[in-house]
Chains A and B, each alone.
Chain A
């Protein structure tokens, strides 16, 4: 295996609120290898966005606080960098695409200007014409038609899909080694989603950037990712390559996520949701955070939080005391994969 581009160990992020301390990310570790696409899935509030925003110092501090952890990126710990050094990394070596393209672009500046800013910030001596030319090339790359005209337009003159294309173009201006896409298609129409994912894939092929794709859509993970992390209540509960996890999930939460999806091939009357609701991150249940909603739960789960441990080979890991009981469990996707 090659050396990882990004290596996160024991990341803990908290938010101070009036009701108490929110444990948004509670001891997360993972590696990201060059050129791969890593999916992070989980419900809202599972800590999937916060764990990546924290790397770039983009969580508001206060109320947020990075309690502990290391994030080794190209031999440097991102969490220990000075503000100025971190700023040189942001938008240059590590870039982000955000969820809502309708609000993520500044309404009073032209799209070309905002894309150019990305270049000018890191290469202040670049000539104006060169910047403009590069921005127009990027707009063309992400499939914005009439790029020259679009360059001078404001975000409100772009449709949602076009804005997200512009956001993607903005993220790759400086050919980052790491691209973080935080729910890039959640705010878009289904038809536009497919197009934007296609753009993302093209961009990745072009830049060879390692990509973290944050989503709650398992379909997107199946389509786009090489490996996947499943997060629940600030913990990673399962990780492994996409095929393994979809065929033979070994954590009850992952199984629950998959079972709650509708399938077009079956005539289902009811969807099967995961019972109960996500726990309060201020007051996590003792033991395994998933036990109140788990069909396998027993006494041990109420007392002991299971660590993320390898199941069949080092690549597939699950944080469940009784993951062995799930061997041979057929997820909805497993039949599909076989077929």
Chain B
């Protein structure tokens, strides 16, 4: 198992290098970070030339890529090309906020999704099943931005009409630098959490139901019943264990994807997470910040793919990594 993990990590190095090079290529052609300065009449021509040189913008893309690569390793992803601030502290700050939202919403979504999926499957075609199948169908079909806006409008209206503050509709804390684990913070992140919860819950409950139904009529479940094993034990020991295998992959990949920033949700709620930060960097055409984001998310996605595979091997003895 350890050799397998080591090998996978080694394999991911060329993948990350190639993907970062391609991103660099595309992003560097997408916009010039000093274009805005050029419109400013108070910036002299010489300054522009100096800046261009300083940022290696006068070099070919390949060379610039290696300058950037040097910064990534020597200088923790380098400094912003616009604000000249170091990037790493911004990544850790925004990532901690994103992670907080994702962990809470995904934790709840997994528990609820699996529970509802199991119950829907063992009571297939019951009212409960129809109700939750419809709910997850809607959750599946809802565009994130629309759901997020809807929640935002609803809670804004509640505040305006009755002057009751249940949840805040943007930001992280009422006062800058507020505590990360406080009622105030929870009131702020509740809506983004709810948005992601509804959408992920729809995904997990649907998958869990389908995968339970796949297993529930299999021959070995019939064998277990023929042995006289009580039904709840049949479900937990024989059906659930096997149904969990496909859901692991879906969950790990979904969480990996979301940690890369729930861009839409964070933007709607002006949440200082990595996705929102990325959108701002993109608008500013800050090559180094955009690249930093892309590298971090690639690493996360590669990592969660690995986690998915390792968990898979842990749950299914037929899969051996050696």
User: Could you tell me which A residues sit within 8 Å of B by CB distance?
Assistant: 56, 58, 60, 83, 87-92, 95-96, 98, 100, 103-109, 114, 117-118, 121-122, 154, 156, 167, 170
Q: Distance (Å) between the CB of B313 and the closest chain A CB?
A: 12
A58–B316 touching, CB < 8 Å? no
Known: A58-B225, A103-B219, A154-B318. A87 touches B242 (CB 8 A): no
Taking the nearest CB of chain A, how far is it from the CB of B235, in angstroms?
13
Query: Which among B228, B230, B242 is the interface contact of A108 at CB below 8 angstroms?
Result: B242
Is chain B's binding surface mostly helix, strand, loop or mixed?
helix
Residue of A nearest to B242 (CB): A108
B226 touches A108 (CB 8 A): no
Given contacts A98-B222, A100-B219, A122 and B318 within 8 Å (CB-CB)? no
B99 at the interface (CB under 8 A from A): no
B residues sitting closer than 8 Å to A (CB atoms) are 217-231, 237-238, 241-242, 245, 315-318
The chain B residue sitting closest to A96, CB to CB, is: B226
A275 to B: closest C-beta gap in Å: 34
Decide if A122 touches B228 in the complex (CB within 8 Å).
Answer: yes
In the assembled complex, which residues on chain B have CB atoms less than 8 Å from the CB atom of A83?
231
Q: How far is the CA of A93 from the CA of B317 in the complex (A)?
A: 32
A58 touches B317 (CB 8 A): no
Closest to B226 in A: A96
Q: Which of B218, B238, B242, B318 contacts A156 (CB 8 A)?
A: B318
Interchain CA distance A90-B316 in the complex, whole Å: 28
Residues of A within 8 A of B317 (CB): 107-108, 154, 156
Contact call B229/A104, Cβ cutoff below 8 A: no
Query: Which listed residue (A88, A98, A167) contacts B228, Cβ 8 A?
Result: A88
- Specify the chain B residue showing the minimal Cβ separation from A106: B220
Greatest chain A CB density within 10 A among B222, B223, B242, B315 is at: B223
Q: Whole-angstrom distance between the alpha carbons of A107 and B217 in the complex? A: 15
Which residues in A have their C-beta under 8 angstroms from that of B316? 107-108
Q: Are A91 and B228 in contact (CB under 8 A)?
A: yes
Q: From residue B215, how far is it (CB to closest CB) to chain A in Å?
A: 10
Known A-B contacts A107-B316, A154-B318; A90 and B226 likewise in contact (beta carbons under 8 Å): yes
> Are A117 and B225 within 8 A (Cβ)?
no
Instruction: Find A106's partner among B217, B228, B238, B245 (CB 8 Å cutoff).
Output: B238
Residue of B nearest to A84 (CB): B230
List, sorted by A's number, 19 A–B pairs whose CB atoms are closer than 8 Å.
Answer: A56-B226, A58-B225, A60-B217, A92-B228, A95-B226, A96-B226, A98-B223, A98-B226, A103-B219, A106-B238, A107-B316, A108-B315, A118-B228, A121-B229, A154-B317, A154-B318, A156-B317, A167-B223, A170-B223
Contacts A107-B316, A108-B241, A108-B315; is A91 near B220 (CB within 8 Å)?
no
Contact of A107 among B226, B228, B229, B318 (CB under 8 A): B318
Contact A118 B227 (CB under 8 A): yes
Max count, chain B CB within 10 A of own CB: residue among A88, A104, A154, A167: A104
Is the pair A107, B220 in contact by a Cβ cutoff of 8 Å? yes
Q: How far is the CB of B317 from chain A (nearest CB, A)?
A: 5
Closest to A122 in B: B228
B45 to chain A, nearest CB (A): 71
Contacts A87-B228, A108-B245, A154-B318 known; list 11 others, CB within 8 Å. A90-B227, A91-B227, A98-B219, A104-B222, A106-B224, A107-B317, A108-B315, A108-B317, A109-B241, A156-B318, A170-B227
- Minimal Cβ-Cβ distance residue in B for A101: B219
Chain A residue nearest in CB terms to B320 = A156
What are the residues of chain A within 8 A of B228 when measuring CB–CB? 87-92, 118, 121-122
Report the separation of the CA atoms of residues A106 and B228 in the bound assembly, to the nearest whole angstrom: 15
10 shortest interchain CB distances as A-B pairs:
A91-B227, A91-B228, A90-B228, A103-B219, A106-B220, A104-B219, A154-B317, A96-B226, A87-B228, A156-B318
Closest to A83 in B: B231
Which one, A60, A87, A105, A154, contacts B220 given CB within 8 A?
A: A105
B226 touches A91 (CB 8 A): yes
How many whole Å from B231's CB to the nearest CB in chain A? 8
B229 to chain A: closest residue by CB = A121
B318 adjacent to A117 (CB under 8 Å): no
A154 to B224, CA, bound (A): 16
* B315 with A117: CB separation less than 8 A: no
Which residues of the other chain, B, contact A103 by a CB distance below 8 angstroms? 218-220
